[in-house]
Amino acid sequence: MFIKTDCNAVEKMIKQLYCTAGAGMEELLAEEVQQKLCATQVEQIPGRVFFCINADLQNVTQLKSAERLFLLLHKAEPISLPNNPAKAAAVIKQRVVGDPDIWRQTFLTWTSLQQELQCCQERGQKRKREDEEDSLHAPSFRVSCRCSGVIARSYTSQRLSRIIGMAIKEDLGWKVDLREPVLEVNVYLSDDHCIVGIPLLKNPLASRSYMKHNGLRSTIAWAMSSLCPKKLNDCVILDPMCGVGAVLLEAAQEYSNAVFLGMDTDVSQLEKAAENIKASGMEGRVQLLQSSAMEIPLADGAVDAVLCDVPFGRKFSCSSDMPTALPRLLKEMERVLRVGGHLVLLLSLQLSAQLKKTICAQEHNQNVNSLETKNVHTDLSNTHYESTDTTDTPKLLTVHRSSSETSNTPLLIRSLQAQKKHRVSLGSTDAFIHTYTKIQT
């Protein structure tokens, strides 16, 4: 499958690549490839970001906002297919497949990049030489096609895949293999684009090896720390509803000098978070605490940033009525946040509307000072912690509160100043990432 290649020579090769991205993540991905890879010719369209690099391909595999990585073979104007199958096949052969020499050269580039990845990972070649030489001349392949718009009304993705596959087989002599092909050809046809690419990795970039238990999608979890107005190094970061720890672990991968605290009321979630933390090697930097986000056992202004995926929907819901609980939850997060610190929230569309009404209504209250009391926060001196885990994983701490603690915190917030609101897709639904800065009042 692979030819011998000088890894240093491959690094100098200009690579035309693209990544897929979830809706709302394209702008963040474009910024990431420019900042981390010094990429050129960066172009974004819905669901995809195109770029050129001559950097080490291993650096590309570290992108946090991308879904999948492809070598670009062909990018052209949209095509219109006639209903007649014979004519449609001819149009596809001309417009989608095009010049066979370009396909052969792209395949050679793909093989070189696979070799580069193996050089970086020090795997070496494991296939027999005769198999390598055979696959160089006629690799096996399969076509995966996605279509939308006008073309999707006349052709299914399966039908287009068959037509494109037959055209490739006839023009290039490659072998169709639907089960274990050497390479997969990805085709995307819409009213605006005709894109052909070859995946460079078997697993999506969005799949994190350190996440044994999946929670919030990793790209969205990364975006929450990325959208924070200030970089989070040398900070204390809190997630008061951490679940399995996805948001904290994504932030911990980016900011090596920060300290993280995760809280949740569900012991089973905290146990999964502890396993994720151990798998990521972050035991010393991420601490877990069993406690309610409604009564955070920290002093006023104790943390530099609060990152929170507020539960909603069927998969990530909680026992509380979140629209009702949201004002009190916000007040408690604001209390433990220092002046100048940042609050980043992932909220459903419904909760986002509730958030706007809550903060706007509270910002105009002129009598907030008279309502603030010394019972706003919980004193750590009245809180007892008991370890519930005797293993070498991060300790899960159970909070026992004194009877003197009250829950009638004034739900009045003046100090949260809105910064950004970013809409992202979670697959079956959309959500907003809200960022706020706490100001002196």
In this predicted model, what pLDDT tens digit does every residue of 87-115 receive, in sequence order? 888 888 888 898 999 999 999 999 999 98
Dihedral pair phi/psi, residue 333, rounded to 5°:
-65, -45
Residue 399: band (very low, low, confident or very high) from pLDDT cuts 50, 70, 90: very low
* Amino acid 254: pLDDT: 87
Compute the average pLDDT of residues 256-260: 91
With a CB cutoff of 8 Å and minimum separation 6, the contacts of 280 are: 210, 211, 249, 252, 253
- C-alpha to C-alpha distance for 224 and 435, rounded to whole angstroms: 9
H or E element: which one contains 117? Answer: helix 100-121
Does residue 436 register a pLDDT over 90?
Answer: yes
* Amino acid 29: pLDDT: 97
- C-alpha to C-alpha distance for 393 and 15, rounded to whole angstroms: 42
pLDDT 10s digits, 271-288: 999 999 999 999 889 999
Q: Residue 329: which of 317, 342, 311 has the closest Cα?
A: 311
Q: Is 133 exposed, middle or buried (0-12, 13-18, 19+ CB in 10 A)?
A: exposed
The architecture that CATH gives domain 7-199 is 2-Layer Sandwich (3.30)
- C-alpha to C-alpha distance for 403 and 400, rounded to whole angstroms: 10
pLDDT 10s digits, 223-255: 998 998 777 888 999 999 999 999 999 999 888
* Amino acid 256: pLDDT: 86
114 close to 121: Cβ distance less than 8 angstroms? no
pLDDT 10s digits, 362-380: 444 434 333 333 333 334 3
Q: Which residue has the higher pLDDT, 312 or 416?
A: 416
* Amino acid 278: pLDDT: 94
User: Hey, where are the domains in the chain?
Assistant: 7-199, 218-438
Q: What is the dihedral of CA 73, 75, 76, 79, to 10 degrees?
A: 80
Q: Which residue has the tokens 């104007």?
A: 77
Residue 178: band (very low, low, confident or very high) from pLDDT cuts 50, 70, 90: very high
**pTM of the entire predicted model:** 0.81
**Given 3.40.50.720, 3.40.50.300, 3.10.105.10, 3.40.50.150, which CATH number is that of 218-438?**
3.40.50.150
Does residue 383 register a pLDDT over 70?
Answer: no
Angle between helices 246-254 and 218-226 (to 10 degrees): 60
Does residue 384 register a pLDDT over 90?
Answer: no
* Amino acid 345: pLDDT: 96
Residue 325: band (very low, low, confident or very high) from pLDDT cuts 50, 70, 90: confident
Residue 121: band (very low, low, confident or very high) from pLDDT cuts 50, 70, 90: low
Does residue 381 register a pLDDT over 50?
Answer: no
Does residue 125 register a pLDDT over 80?
Answer: no
DSSP string, 138-191: S-EEEEEEEE-THHHHH--HHHHHHHHHHHHHHHH-PEE-SSS-SEEEEEEE-S
Does residue 185 register a pLDDT over 50?
Answer: yes
Q: What is the dihedral of CA 299, 301, 306, 310, to 10 degrees?
A: 60
* Amino acid 320: pLDDT: 58
Paired tokens of 244? 């399995």
How open is the CA angle 299-247-202, to the nearest 5 degrees? Answer: 165
* Amino acid 382: pLDDT: 40
* Amino acid 361: pLDDT: 43
